[in-house]
Amino acid sequence: RNYSITGQRRALPDPETVSLNEAARICRVSHRTIERLVEAGLLKREQVTPRAPWEIRRADLNNETVRSIIDRLLRTGKLVLQGGSSGNPPSLFTENEGDDNARHHE
């Protein structure tokens, strides 16, 4: 409006997509949890254009697998990114497993 320069018209937000922060709020989880779901390939993020904020489709948040993972997280406090139980988690210290196995066989 200033100096008779026409302003930029903003596009209306797409009601079918939400930001990562909004997705976290909707699901009642942290932003990092949403990022981990994306990294695991369970949620797909998109950008309208390079450098634009990442967006997630609302429908993807209601995917049965994603809902199951989030429900389990809210119930137990544990984020299990694959089906199955977390009863036997992988070892964090795989480099020492061979030494432990050798000692047990002596």
5 domain residue, yes or no: no
8 domain residue, yes or no: no
Phi, psi of 45 (to 5 degrees): -105, 150
Give dist(CA 28, CA 31) in Å, integer.
10
9 in Cβ contact with 16 (< 8 Å): no
Give dist(CA 20, CA 45) in Å, integer.
8
How do residues 65-84 score in pLDDT, each as one tens digit? 999 999 999 999 999 987 54
Domain membership of residue 35 as a residue range = 13-84
Q: pTM here? A: 0.66
* Number of independent structural domains in the chain: 1
Question: Is the pLDDT at 19 greater than 70, yes or no?
Answer: yes
105 domain residue, yes or no: no
72 domain residue, yes or no: yes
45 domain residue, yes or no: yes
93 domain residue, yes or no: no
